[in-house]
């Protein structure tokens, strides 16, 4: 498949669009002129990009949950509860797994059975099946902006329907919704499909409607070094900007070490703007999102609130534009709306208390510089592999292990890089694999791991990784052995 980071020609886009809208019956409801008019009539407080711009200018951190159920009335009830009782600044519509796999007939069956039995039989909101009118019913029912959150490799029809339905923010990307989610889908395929998503976003922008785009930051959410998730976020931002996207939120999944996490959010914004400007995209507004801990949670609710509070602290001190909030039911399964709201209120309390505080230290500056160096080496190597084309370069980079996401299910991901925590709980790299690091960085990571091994009186080994994966669920950050 030929792949280039070039804006899709209008004729090619609209030809492809005919096929996309024909994938399910609700595609017939999409009318671009009507969609533009609907968005322009939305009040300012319900437009995602506007809310993010204001928050960044005012140095505020907004709180947003995850949430989604299959029946429209129940979904609205849930969002209204999170808005009113959870004090959410921003709202989601998390999409169900059938829709993520473009299995709309099964999603339709799930809606019918959910209504018949009076309980949710899908793990999210099937927006394609509900169509434009159903989506607008949701958007019109709340007072704050609503985002589509999902995990869909081919999200073209979902984008068409939810954009026309009035959603003003959209998560995902051709890399971040492939490597952590798919086993057998080539990266070239998902990047091309997501170029369509971003071209549609750019088309709305050209017609006076700004829709926020958010690459998925945490990736696998398991000991992902900041440089890896940063590189993916920056590359997806560049791919989106080429198609005309003007409002981008880059994300990062909390790792747990306060200094490293604060440094990560600061450098993520800085580096994204640096690369956008370097390659000519000077009119893109960049914001950041911190995802609270994506790994295993303790089952005890009080302990879970401790994990949530640490994530809230990092979001506040890093001045992230928004934070995606977890719930005290993470270890159990799908949370009740009361538990979801409680996580939001906990986060908001911490964020408000720390809003005027700033972290300054030599350790923070050192950590920032490490992340900058590592990230630039990865991104620049991808440009080199693509002979200057980042779409081609990242595909080659993934196959070469230059971009290597730990524990990814994708068979095209190299899986050679292996992370683990250092003595202070920061995520380091035990096995560099084919990451394009210089000798100084390789020595830096080796020294960090050796120091931990010395402290724990054991060899550097994969057992450290296993211990670290389960540590937070057991009340620690670093998975140390019991002596």
Active site residue ranges? 100, 171
Q: Among the residues of 207-300, which ranges form H helices?
A: 226-242, 258-278
Helix, strand, or coil (residue 395): helix
CA nearest neighbour of 17 among 1, 5, 3, 31: 31
Contacts of 386 (CB under 8 A, 6+ apart): 392, 393, 394, 395, 396, 397
Judging by DSSP bridges, how do beta strands 427-431 and 418-421 pair with one another? antiparallel
Report the distance separating Cα 377 and Cα 440, nearest Å.
Answer: 13
Taking CA atoms, 454 is separated from 420, 441, 444, 476, in Å, by 15, 20, 16, 19
What SS3 string covers 133-170? HHHHHHHHCCCCCEEEECCCCCCHHHHHHHHHCCCCEE
Q: Angle at which helices 439-456 and 362-385 pack, to 10 degrees?
A: 130
The C-alpha angle 136, 141, 142, rounded to 5 degrees, equals 115
Is 259 exposed, middle or buried, given 0-12, 13-18 or 19+ CB atoms closer than 10 A? buried
Sole residue written with tokens 């990062």: 252
Contacts of 235 (CB under 8 A, 6+ apart): 175, 379, 382, 390, 394, 403
Contacts of 41 (CB under 8 A, 6+ apart): none
Residue 88 region, left (φ>0) first, then alpha (ψ -120 to 50), else beta?
beta
Residues 328 and 304: beta-carbon distance below 8 Å: yes
**Do you know the residue count of the chain?**
483
Report the distance separating Cα 427 and Cα 478, nearest Å.
Answer: 10
Taking CA atoms, 185 is separated from 10, 136, 152, in Å, by 26, 32, 12
Contacts of 122 (CB under 8 A, 6+ apart): 69, 70, 96, 97, 98, 107, 110, 111, 114
């Amino acid at each position: 498949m030929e792949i280039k980071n070039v804006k899709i020609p209008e004729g090619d886009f609209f030809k492809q669009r005919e096929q996309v809208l024909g994938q399910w019956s609700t595609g017939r409801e999409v009318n671009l002129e009507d969609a533009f008019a609907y968005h322009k009539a939305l009040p300012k407080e319900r437009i995602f990009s506007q809310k993010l711009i204001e928050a960044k200018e005012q140095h505020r951190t907004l709180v947003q949950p995850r949430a989604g159920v299959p029946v429209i009335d129940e979904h609205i009830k849930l969002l209204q509860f999170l808005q009113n009782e959870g004090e959410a600044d921003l709202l989601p519509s998390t999409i169900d797994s059938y829709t993520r796999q473009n299995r709309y007939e099964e999603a339709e069956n799930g809606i019918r059975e959910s209504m018949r039995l009076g309980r949710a039989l899908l793990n999210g909101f099937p927006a394609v099946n509900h169509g434009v009118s159903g989506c607008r019913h949701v958007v019109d029912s709340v007072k704050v902006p609503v985002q589509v959150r999902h995990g869909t490799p081919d999200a073209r029809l979902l984008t068409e329907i939810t954009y026309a339905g009035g959603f003003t923010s959209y998560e995902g990307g051709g890399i971040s919704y492939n490597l952590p989610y798919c086993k057998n889908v080539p990266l070239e395929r998902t990047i091309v499909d997501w170029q369509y998503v971003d071209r549609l976003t750019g088309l709305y922008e050209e017609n006076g409607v700004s829709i926020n785009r958010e690459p998925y930051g945490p990736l696998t959410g398991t000991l992902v070094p900041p440089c890896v998730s940063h590189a993916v976020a920056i590359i997806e931002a560049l791919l989106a900007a080429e198609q005309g996207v003007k409002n981008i939120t880059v994300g990062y999944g909390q790792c747990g070490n306060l200094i490293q996490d604060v440094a990560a959010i600061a450098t993520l914004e800085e580096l994204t703007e640096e690369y956008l400007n370097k390659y000519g995209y000077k009119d893109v507004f960049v914001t950041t999102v911190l995802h609270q801990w994506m790994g295993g949670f303790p089952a005890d609710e009080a302990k879970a609130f401790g994990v949530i509070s640490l994530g809230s602290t990092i979001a506040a001190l890093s001045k992230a534009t928004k934070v995606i909030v977890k719930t005290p039911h993470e270890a159990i399964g799908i949370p009740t709306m009361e538990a979801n709201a409680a996580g939001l209120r906990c986060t908001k309390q911490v964020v408000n208390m720390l809003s005027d505080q700033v972290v300054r230290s030599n350790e923070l500056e050192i950590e920032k510089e490490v992340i900058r160096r590592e990230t630039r080496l990865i991104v620049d190597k991808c440009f080199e592999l693509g002979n200057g084309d980042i779409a081609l370069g990242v595909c080659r980079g993934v196959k070469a292990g230059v971009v290597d996401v730990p524990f990814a299910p994708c068979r095209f991901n190299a899986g050679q890089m292996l992370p683990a925590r250092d003595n202070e709980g920061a995520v380091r790299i035990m096995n560099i694999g084919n990451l394009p690091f210089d000798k100084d960085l390789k020595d830096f990571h080796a020294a960090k791991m050796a120091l931990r091994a010395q402290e724990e009186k054991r060899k550097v080994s994969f057992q450290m990784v296993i211990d670290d994966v389960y540590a937070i669920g057991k009340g620690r950050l670093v998975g140390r052995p019991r002596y």
